[in-house]
Chain A
Amino acid sequence: MALSQDKFGIYNPEKPRENRITDIGPRHFWQYFPPVIQKNYGKWAYHDILEPGVMVHVAESGDKIFTVRVGAMRLMSVELMREACDIADKYCDGYLRFTTRNNIEFLCTDESKLAALKADLMSRKMQGGSYKFPIGGTGAGITNVVHTQGYIHCHTPATDASSMVKAIMDDLFDYFTGMTLPAKVRVSMACCLNMCGAVHCSDIACLGYHRKPPAIDHQFLSKMCEIPLVVTACPLAAISPATTEDGKKTVKIKEDRCMFCGNCYTMCPALPLSDKTGDGVVILAGGKLSNRISAPKFSKVVVPFCPNNFPRFPEVTANIKKIVEAYAKGAMKYERLGDWAERIGWEKFFEATGLPFTEHLIDDYRLAYDTYRTSTQFKFTDSAWAVSKAADGV
């Protein structure tokens, strides 16, 4: 039965409940496994990365499946998807999958087709000159940047997402197509604190952030918003009820308490935060998710603000480059970025990367004390000597 081509399809607005089916769930996964995966499900012996972006998984039976991983934009047209389908039909018996980091993986059983598949993928370019399906994203390199909607589709962003990721990945492209780092480096991007992209445990994270308290639309606030919900939305109790001079119910904000999280705007459209000069990008580093060697850890703020210089974000990309290069130079094999920073000490991290340490990087939010140094163990760096000088000690 073909997909319908009339306005409402099989839906009849006159009888909305007619023939309705609900709660059927997603398609069952089994049918989307290539036969070699069905046959060897749960019986894989080992895998090898044959070259960046190309893997072979070998089953206990000796069967093999080859995977070619390519970078893909999270925002994708049906045209590009159809092109990926053409490729999968030609070389992969029609099977492909997506990774959690928005790469496409072409799954290939026939080793003899592998060389042609790789050549085909790298030969395809967009009209503007970029690759359509660049091969890479495996092992000790940088794979695709997961990101959020930004100005493409979101109502709360403090920066744009797709453009920043394009700028970052253009800059880090050699790390995507290569495996030259001490361990994998996961770069993530979220355009506001809601963190739909969950960047809070990434090796390097870019986070859109506001720096100005909400503007208050006093004339409409009480019509658009439930004031008690707005008041309780603020985690720092900075918002309280108020009345305008002409008698309208509204709210007032203790601006020195605001840390620009945007919860109030989530509850109330009459409290917008976005602002051209106020908004920008925070860079965090040193987080990870894997339990390998050390425990998972949160990313830490290492650059408190970069301006939204659209579309190429030169300050953001330059700072990321500094972090990646210092890490590549200093870390041991298998050592994740956060483990490297902890081993050498964060004071050395700032020296090695050349990132300035400012008072904005000292926590003054809840549980800040947990991050203060309460020992006599530290390493001498230029910044330590600067403090000694300021104290008239050297």
Chain B
Amino acid sequence: MAFEPKSPQKKLDYQELRIYSDAELNNYTEEELKNFKIKHSIPICDQLESGPWPSFVSDAKREALHRKKLGQGRMLMASEAVEDLLGQLEVSLIHGETHWKHGGIVGVSGYGGGVIGRYSDLPEQFPGVAHFHTIRLNQTMSKFYDTDFLRALCDLWEFRGSGLFNLHGSTGDIVFLGTITEQLEPIFQEAAHHMDQDIGGSGSNLRTPSCCLGRARCEFACYDTQDMCYDITMTYQDELHRPAFPYKFKIKFDGCPNCCVASIARSDIAIIGTWCDDIQIDQDAVKGYVSGKFAPNAGAHAGRNWGKFDIQAEVIDRCPTKCMKMDGDKLVINNGECVRCMHCINTMPRALKPGKDKGVMMLFGAKAPILEGAQMATLLVPFMRTEAPYDNVKGVIEKTWDFWMEEGKNRERLGELIQRKGLPTFLKAIGLPAAPHMVVTPRANPYVFWDPADVPGGHKRDIDDYRSRHAR
């Protein structure tokens, strides 16, 4: 079925949106850049200009020069913000301590998330970054853009902010780095009205969902990660923008078990594509790999001589379940034993493809260490066929939220709550039966919390009845 975009948007035209003229965008020469000194002495930062990897110091300096030559009349944030940021960084490197203050509650009207307040603790020394708040913008799915959008973003951010951003933040958002309080609402409104572009999440709410590049450019994607991520982002705008949760909540979408957006380690709910039928085999292409016609692993090992491709050593013997063998020159897979680890498919993408009956798995409770230590997501839903509008996936998400909002303590991630209450309790809450695929091994301790309903006569005891048989 051909994918039909459900909500096509008006294409943005940079020439209509732009703030700066071509002359303003090209307002310095290489010679001026070479001779440019920022207003602070930063010998430690200067050392970071050498070496081959792109230097953020060199990059920031040219933005500083560009802003200086544009002049304060052509922007609403301090034109020296970048110079002061570098100056404060230099002091931080000398002190070995950050100079950003803790906290600062700022935001846009009606939203509780998407803006992070930040103030310098050296405002007299570095007035250009005295207020330096972050705005998170909801990235497009898989971070595909065109230059009209990005150029408009650059103009908006140079005019109303510092001219520095993160592409992208760890959760996925476009991060506008550093503006003043009075510009927060104007930036939001400009983005919303002129660019059809909303801000993302921060605080105790749904964080900006993110997905792998899926069907856009990957042969492995087992479901439409972009469409599901977009649909869920749009469905849960209220949860994204208005904190009502015990703590942050992340949902990430990976098209296959290769997990390119790290959903399995970084999201409270990880939705990962898989298949439940047989791996598709093109035996001619298998021969192509064996004969050396095709480079294994798409040529990923081309930088070193690993010798001739050996399908026995490199694929069959590496299979974690040993479910493959060669029968003459044919590859045979015992699909019932396959755990869909992707190694054979990654190694021979022209010969092997995921099965045709595709769906998603749902895993729960991953998080980084704070507070109770790092947790990986736990596989609970082994397979789920789903189609837009993904009502069955949303049903599980909403049951999870009901449980977490009812039982979760302040600043308790879902994974920690599941630990505290026990996985069986969570399974009951989201209405799933227990199954061995949810555990690596069954429990080694016998300390089962038997429910009274599971025991004949319940937990009610009669001490007199007991004493009728046992003297004190």
Contact = CB atoms under 8 A, between A and B. Distances in A.
A8 interface: yes
A37 B216 contact: yes
B187 to A, nearest CB: 8
Interface in A12-55: 13, 16-17, 19-33, 37, 41-42, 44-52, 55
A112 interface: no
Interface string A87-111: 0110000111111101010000000
Interface residues of B, number: 163
A155 B100 contact: yes
B416 to A, nearest CB: 10
A298 interface: yes
B60 interface: yes
Contacts of A31: 5, 8-9, 11, 146
Question: From DSSP, what is the main secondary structure of chain A's interface residues?
Answer: loop
Nearest to A298: B374
A318 interface: no
Interface string A274-288: 111101000000000
A293 B138 contact: no
A20 B193 CA distance: 9
Given A26-B141, A291-B257, A170 B304 contact: no
A179 B101 contact: no
B50 A129 contact: yes
Given A3-B156, A23-B237, A163-B48, A50 B63 contact: no
A382 B221 CA distance: 47
Interface in B75-132: 76, 82, 85, 88-89, 92-93, 95-103, 109-111, 118, 132
A173 B51 CA distance: 9
Given A41-B3, A154-B98, A155-B100, A97 B61 contact: no
B258 A292 contact: yes
Contacts of A89: 147
Contact of A140 (B51, B237, B303): B303
A100 B16 contact: no
Given A74-B167, A151-B98, A180 B49 contact: no
A334 interface: yes
Given A292-B342, A310-B44, A151 B99 contact: yes
A170 B52 CA distance: 6
Contact of A97 (B213, B234, B376): B213
A148 B170 CA distance: 7
Contact of A79 (B59, B88, B224, B299): B59
A79 B106 CA distance: 28
Interface-centre pick from A16, A72, A78, A84 (highest chain B CB count, 10 A):
A78
Contacts of A289: 259, 262, 264-265
A3 B54 contact: no
A153 B134 contact: yes
Interface string B335-367: 000001111001101100000000000000000
